[in-house]
Structure formats: structure tokens, C-alpha cells
Amino acid sequence: MRVAFLMAQEGIEQVELTEPWQAVAEAGGEPVLVSLEAGHVQAFDHLDKADTFPVDLTVDEASADEFDALVLPGGVANPDALRTNTEAVALVRSFFDQGKPVAAICHAPWTLVEADVLRGRTLTSWPSLRTDISNAGGTWVDEAVHVCTAGPGALITSRKPDDLPAFSKALLAELAH
């Protein structure tokens, strides 16, 4: 299984990248870092710079056809940058169009709002996104992890880094289907 991890050049909450990445790799999958530009992405531990990670593909090189699922790590700046990039938004939408699983944690559903893929879906996120999700036609719930199967492909969402064990477990369960 090949899983795309889509993120901007900076503002990624590091643990929201590394824990699901490790879970996919340990399950025998191939995690692939997709970003807006070639080079490296800068992760953060909340507001403090953390590690950098090499980009495998840029959004203009990536296609949902090449992957089994999409993971959107959070961080406040990361999804805010992604949602203003038309190629990134189109890539996200294409995973939904193809009915492939999409997993988003914390602030990452902001990109889903922009992709207009939340109508009729139930999901969770960082609490401050509740109104944005509702305005986009989604139903927000306060749960550690929520898997929505309304519509093609599963949408796996979690609220925050403390939910990562449940998030990774739900992601792997969907990939096992």
C-alpha cells in the first residue's frame, strides 16, 4: 500500500506526520511525502521548529491514481497554506473522487473545507474548526477518532496529537480493507 502524506513547506505538527508515517511503514506500506515544492519541509513542535523531512514528490508530480490513501497532517500553518494552493486542493479532491481513504488530523480539515468534500460527512478536528466544517456542510463531533463512510471512500479524522494512537489504528484498519 502506497500512502501520500500531503503537506506545505512548513507549519506541520511533527508528531502528526511521524506517528502515522511510522504506523504505515511498520504495516509494510510505503509512505510518500508530497509537498508544494521540492526540497524539504519544516516540521514544528507546536510553535517551535523541529526536524526537516525530504520531499519525495511535488503536488504537480503526484496523482491520486498512484496511491491507496491520503494523510493530511495538521499544524495551523500547514493546512492554511495547502488550502490556498489550487493544485493541492485538486489533489485532495481527486482522492475523494476516486473513493480512496483520506485521513486528516487537528487543523488539516481546513484543506477539506476548501476542497468542498465535507457535505453530508461527519468528522472531528481541532475544536476551532467546528464552524468552518459546519459551514462546509459537514457535521462536527468531539471524538478521539471518527471514521465516516458516508460517500465513496472513508474519511478518518482526529482532534489532536493525543488522539494519534486511535487515528493511526483507524487508518491502518481502512488500509487493510
Q: What is the CATH number of the domain that holds 95?
A: 3.40.50.880
Tell me whether residue 148 is one of the annotated catalytic residues. no
Please identify which of the residues 107, 146, 148, 177 carries the catalytic annotation.
107
Packing angle of the helix pair 14-26, 164-176 (nearest 10 deg): 40
Whether residue 71 has pLDDT greater than 90: yes
- Tens-place pLDDT, residues 97-127: 999 999 999 999 999 999 999 999 999 999 9
CA dihedral sign of residues 130, 148, 26, 71: negative
Range of the domain at 82: 2-176
Q: Which of 40, 46, 106, 148 is catalytic?
A: 106
pLDDT, average across residues 156-170: 98
**Average pLDDT value for residue range 128-146:** 98
Q: Is 106 known to be catalytic?
A: yes
Residue 91's alpha-carbon distances to 100, 104, 119, 124, 144, in angstroms, are: 12, 14, 18, 21, 26
As for how many domains the chain has, the answer is 1
